[in-house]
Amino acid sequence: MELGDKDIVTPGLSVAVPAIRQSQPFTVVITRVAETQLKVDQSIDYSIQYVDAPDLLRGQQQVQQAGREGNRELTYLVHRENGTETWRKLTDSTVTQAPVAEIIRRGTKVVDYGTGLASWYSGVGSLTAAHRTLPLGTRVRVVNTATGASVVVTIADRGPFVGGRIIDLSSDAFAAIASRGSGVVNVRLEKP
């Protein structure tokens, strides 16, 4: 019988073999050991990067560059005893193809519908408003210029017909950006 370099003999080869007796059999166990290299491909996720795009409306996104996964080759030393894997050790890791980041442009352009005074009234619906010219159904972000608080409303009525005012908000919408007790507040109107 031939032994491999890494095979394990139990008891060891240096142990004296006792006289063989039928009443006390002697057993020698040979564990066949093999070590091999295993190469495994592993994908590398791509990252996503965002860049501001002043030519796109706020809220819009556009893929500037599609992402692509990369690839890595992992090399393992695999140890087997009697054909069963007992352990493996990573011995090398090589990037064979670098991932390509996905670049997404995010719109920052704000469509400004004007600035002026906002008042409130008992309007139709909870987050609605009246405007003189914007089409009914248009959604508008109303920003309190003093605090930055904002609310998105839907134009559901016509008005205001008081000089200097550019929008009449429903009472709930007004309360989202200022105290109703203030009556009027300076605002900026934007496309949401």
**Do residues 36 and 102 both lie within one domain?**
yes
Looking at residue 23, its pLDDT comes to 62
Looking at residue 142, its pLDDT comes to 98
Q: How many domains does the chain have?
A: 2
**Strand pairing of 29-31 and 184-190?**
unpaired
**Do residues 114 and 174 both lie within one domain?**
yes
Dihedral angle, C-alpha 58, 64, 66, 67, nearest 10 °: -80
Q: Per residue of the chain (192 residues), give pLDDT as tens.
A: 788 888 888 877 676 666 555 666 667 788 999 999 999 999 999 999 999 999 999 889 999 999 999 999 999 999 999 999 999 999 999 999 999 999 999 999 988 999 999 999 886 668 999 999 999 999 999 999 999 999 999 999 999 999 889 999 999 999 999 998 999 999 999 998
Residue 65 belongs to some domain of the structure: yes
**Do residues 101 and 115 both lie within one domain?**
no
Looking at residue 18, its pLDDT comes to 61
Residue 146 belongs to some domain of the structure: yes
User: Does this model's pTM top 0.95?
Assistant: no
Cis before residue 11, ω within 30 degrees of 0? yes
Looking at residue 27, its pLDDT comes to 77
Task: Give the residues across from 119 on adjacent strands.
Answer: 168, 184
**Do residues 171 and 102 both lie within one domain?**
no
One-letter amino acid identity for 92? D
